[in-house]
Amino acid sequence: MRRTSSIIAAGSIALLGVTVLAGCSSSSSPEPAASSAAAPADASSAQVLPPVMVAEDVTTANAKVGDFIVIQVTKLAGTTIATPNPELLEVTQGGSDGSAEFNPGAKALAPGVGIITVTKPDGSSYDLTVTITE
């Protein structure tokens, strides 16, 4: 009797395991996954490249259209950035959302040579010249 109970218990566990695995399988799903429907035809075009990191007081940088330029500053509070070239660079001020701090930066929008003026908390400033290529 014990052997029969053991076989029934083992069979029940195996059946339960197969049922759970079948429920988790994407092949049994009648609807296609949303991510596969939205995936681009060329997977390499979906790559996200790292930002161009620029140390404080560096005055030149190179970027490609679409790159993000991050200006690493020692004092976030009170540091501001600006550009006279909004057609080339979309600037973003640094700040904090309470859980993380974000350095100021810019997105390269078009080829050309753009300027980002970085003003430090003490009022001093410097220009960062960004050469943007395709």
Q: Which residue has the higher pLDDT, 44 or 20?
A: 44
- Kindly state the percentage of the chain with pLDDT values over 70: 66
Rounded mean pLDDT of 89-116?
Answer: 97
Distance CA 75, CA 79 (A): 7
Backbone dihedral angles phi then psi of residue 123, each to the nearest 5 degrees: 95, -15
Distance CA 65, CA 130 (A): 11
Distance CA 74, CA 114 (A): 23
Q: What is the pLDDT of residues 50-86, one digit of tens each?
A: 999 999 999 999 999 999 999 999 999 999 999 999 9
pLDDT tier for residue 24 given thresholds of 50, 70 and 90: very low
Report the pLDDT value the prediction gives residue 47, as an integer from 0 to 100: 75
pLDDT averaged over every residue in the chain: 80
pLDDT tier for residue 48 given thresholds of 50, 70 and 90: confident
In this structure, which CATH number among 3.30.420.40, 3.40.50.300, 2.60.40.2020, 3.40.50.720 belongs to the domain 45-133? 2.60.40.2020
Distance CA 116, CA 63 (A): 13
Distance CA 125, CA 117 (A): 7
- Kindly state the percentage of the chain with pLDDT values over 90: 63
Pairing, β 80-82 against β 112-119: antiparallel
The whole-model pTM stands at 0.65
pLDDT of 30 > 50? The answer is: no
Distance CA 100, CA 96 (A): 6
pLDDT of 26 > 80? The answer is: no
Which tokens is 78 given? 């009170």
The CA-based dihedral angle spanning residues 54, 60, 64, 66, taken in that order and rounded to the nearest 10 degrees: 50
